[in-house]
Chain A
Amino acid sequence: MELTGAEIIIECLKAEDVDYVFGYPGGAVLHIYDAFHKQDDVKHILVRHEQGATHAADGYARSTGKPGVVLVTSGPGATNAVTGIATAYMDSIPMIVITGQVPKPLIGNDAFQEVDSVGITRPIVKHNFLIEDVKDIARVFKQAFFVATTGRPGPVVIDIPKDITAHKVDFKYPEEINMRSYNPTSKGHPGQIKRAVDIVLGAERPMIYTGGGVILGNGSEQLRKFTKKLGYPITQTLMGLGAFPATDRQSLGMLGMHGTYEANMGMHHCDVMIAIGARFDDRVTGNLEKFCPDATIIHVDVDPASISKNVRVDVPIVGEVVQVLDNFNKALEQTDRTPNAAALEKWWNQIDEWRSQDCLKYDRDSETIKPQFVIEKMYEVTKGEAFVTSDVGQHQMYAAQYYGFDEPRRWINSGGLGTMGFGLPSAMGVQLAHPDDLVMCVTGESSIQMCIQELATCTQYGLPLKIINLNNGYMGMVRQWQEFFYDKRYSNSHMDVQPDFSKLAEAYGHVGLKIEKSVDVVPALEEAIVQKDRLVFLDFITDQEENVYPMIPAGAGMNEMILV
């Protein structure tokens, strides 16, 4: 049967098992919106700004592992989506972004709402397509979903001229896919795996360092088995939190600029590092010249370009985390060798000594609300079981440090791009994917204002998010750097004019509460959770000059942390 291009798009989304599309209509996508109107298999979530659509799809993807899908119009629709696409790209999140385009005969004429979407998004996508014929739609969608979700995942943009969505052709969704130029490696090299296992078992001061790749690759179970079997310490990046339980003794917490003292000291002094699905980001390594001077480095990653990009590694293994860890685990079962117990005991003693520094201590008795206190109480009240999204800045670090994530895909934040405005819309995507779970957005008075319009989307779809606004009246991380490195010249970081957030939440039809004393923190959190079906906006007025500790200052090594 002949279908229009617009109807074919819907059929492709159905074939890919898409349940939600996050979008915003406009001239170039009107045919597609009309096709949406005639069906209800694929639900459309109307956001209030295209950036919100991309972050919502992103949150959906991070919390489920399925690709998020976005639909926006040409021109400003596409450019508004750019920040969200780049956010997904930097954190390797599978996403399909359908952008409308002006009709094909008008392309290049500076037509109304025309931009070169393929050109603009090229550096921030895994791949993109401009569809030039209605016959190509089905094939392109099949390829787009395949590329977005395999290998190192990432966003894929499909740009579709309006006239093509009206053309008709017989529809058949391809069952198979054949791309001669795209074959991601899945299995690690057996020789390298053997070599790695030998080195791992010979370690005296081992460290397992894992990143977002373990979560993206669904390798959490295999990682737990591997780490437990060896009894080695493990540290996780901001993106990797939850792959291994934070509450387990072997977990040293997060590493990097605001990681724990024990994790960073452990990294610096280790003799064997097993890096899995992590990319040696500059926020992790500190000064590369001082990075892990004694370590023999094993690096497992699905992306060959991540290996030896920033740090030379000794045993590179390109492959999917699950497959490689399965091979590691098999090898560990088959060998008679065991870890060096005496050396390991000594190593753990050293680690416990670092741990005894209690690097995350702060004034727990403060009458003024400490931001760390809010997160700690939030953890206690939710028993660590909430999905937590965050924006970017101090509150993001506090959430990562003080909310112990025991499960993967529970901690949703923009690590690579560091996108303020991510928290609220991404929480919407998480809540839609997990309607019965508690979803909390940790944010600050500055970040939240970047996508605050999405409070209306939450009203429309009845999304009962709990927004934890750590309101210190500053762009806290900017202020912290200005305090440390610019002699307290707080240039433009003071958010001294703010809306009354609780009233604002009410104006959107939600519940808003302002909390100003430490004693009121727990009751407020409990109240928010009791209001199961309502979005509750908790505006915590926190200590204005609290800093995130510990910290590796720029240019320093991992062993040169500033403690409280």
Chain B
Amino acid sequence: MRHIISILLENESGALSRVAGLFSARAYNIESLTVAPTDDSTLSRMTIVTSGTEEIIEQINKQLNKLVDVVKLNDLTQDAHIERELMLIKVQATNEARDEVKRLVEIFRGRIIDVTDTTYTIEITGNGEKLDAFVEALSAITIHEVVRSGLLGISRGDRVLS
């Protein structure tokens, strides 16, 4: 099953490779990983999407907790939470495609953020399925580049990871 693990870790060089190294050394699966400093610049917030049996997920949580750089972690998938991903996508926008892409962007509530005579660059956010659906909807269009952020997650309600 898919799990989203949210981690607060020391914002130090090497902390990311400790986490990434743990996953590769123990043959755990990483679907996506995002990391950036938080409002407290000594801390980074990481979101990892992984999958495995309940036993494996339990081990992943425990092994992550053992890393000295990990301050706190939470499996978001245990409770109500919000998932978001950002995608930047550059497509061919000539002739009829120019209007067609614009319509699709509106339907999916994306934004065109860069325009040339022949291309559009689109920004779109949502959960992974929505982004997949958008790419699917563009199937008749030539896609030049797709850049996805990986998933970001946060708990709903007043639950806080701190």
Contact = CB atoms under 8 A, between A and B. Distances in A.
Contacts of A127: 68
Given A122-B17, A122-B18, A123-B21, A181 B62 contact: no
B58 interface: yes
Contacts of A130: 13-14
Interface in B58-115: 58-59, 62-63, 65-66, 68-71
Given A181-B69, A181-B71, A305-B59, A123 B25 contact: yes
Contact of B62 (A123, A147, A179, A304): A304
A312 B53 CA distance: 13
A180 B71 contact: yes
Q: Please provide the 6 A-B residue pairs with the shortest distance between their CB atoms, ordered closest to farther.
A: A305-B62, A127-B68, A181-B71, A123-B25, A182-B68, A304-B62
A409 B59 CA distance: 30
Residue picked from B17, B62, B68, B69, most chain A C-beta under 10 Å: B68
Given A130-B14, A304-B62, A308-B58, A181 B70 contact: yes
How many interface residues does chain A have, given as a range?
Answer: 10 to 19
Interface string A119-145: 100110011001000000000000000
A419 B70 CA distance: 31
29 contacts: A118-B14, A119-B17, A122-B14, A122-B17, A122-B18, A122-B21, A123-B21, A126-B68, A127-B68, A130-B13, A130-B14, A147-B68, A179-B68, A180-B71, A181-B9, A181-B10, A181-B69, A181-B70, A181-B71, A303-B66, A304-B62, A304-B66, A305-B59, A305-B62, A305-B63, A305-B65, A308-B55, A308-B58, A312-B55
Nearest to A126: B68
A180 to B, nearest CB: 6
Nearest to B10: A181
A126 B68 CA distance: 8
Interface string A301-318: 001110011001000000
Nearest to A182: B68
Interface residues of B, number: 19
B68 A309 contact: no
A126 B18 CA distance: 11
Contacts of A312: 55
Interface string A141-182: 000000100000000000000000000000000000001111
Contacts of B62: 304-305
B18 to A, nearest CB: 6
A119 B20 CA distance: 12
A123 B68 CA distance: 13
Contacts of B21: 122-123
B28 to A, nearest CB: 13
A556 B70 CA distance: 39
Contacts of B59: 305, 309
A123 B25 CA distance: 7
Interface string A273-307: 00000000000000000000000000000011100
Nearest to A179: B68
A305 B55 contact: no
A303 B59 CA distance: 12
Nearest to A312: B55
Interface string B11-55: 001100110010001000000000000000000000000000001
A278 to B, nearest CB: 17
A305 B17 contact: no
Contacts of B17: 119, 122
Interface string A343-370: 0000000000000000000000000000
B62 to A, nearest CB: 4
Nearest to A306: B62
Nearest to A124: B25
B65 A304 contact: yes
A309 B69 CA distance: 22
Contacts of B68: 126-127, 147, 179, 181-182
Nearest to A184: B66
Contacts of A123: 21, 25
Contacts of B14: 118, 122, 130
Contacts of B71: 180-181
Contacts of A122: 14, 17-18, 21
A373 B48 CA distance: 56
Given A122-B17, A181-B68, 11 more contacts: A122-B14, A127-B68, A130-B14, A180-B71, A303-B66, A304-B65, A305-B59, A305-B63, A305-B65, A309-B59, A312-B55
Given A130-B14, A181-B9, A181-B10, A305 B70 contact: no
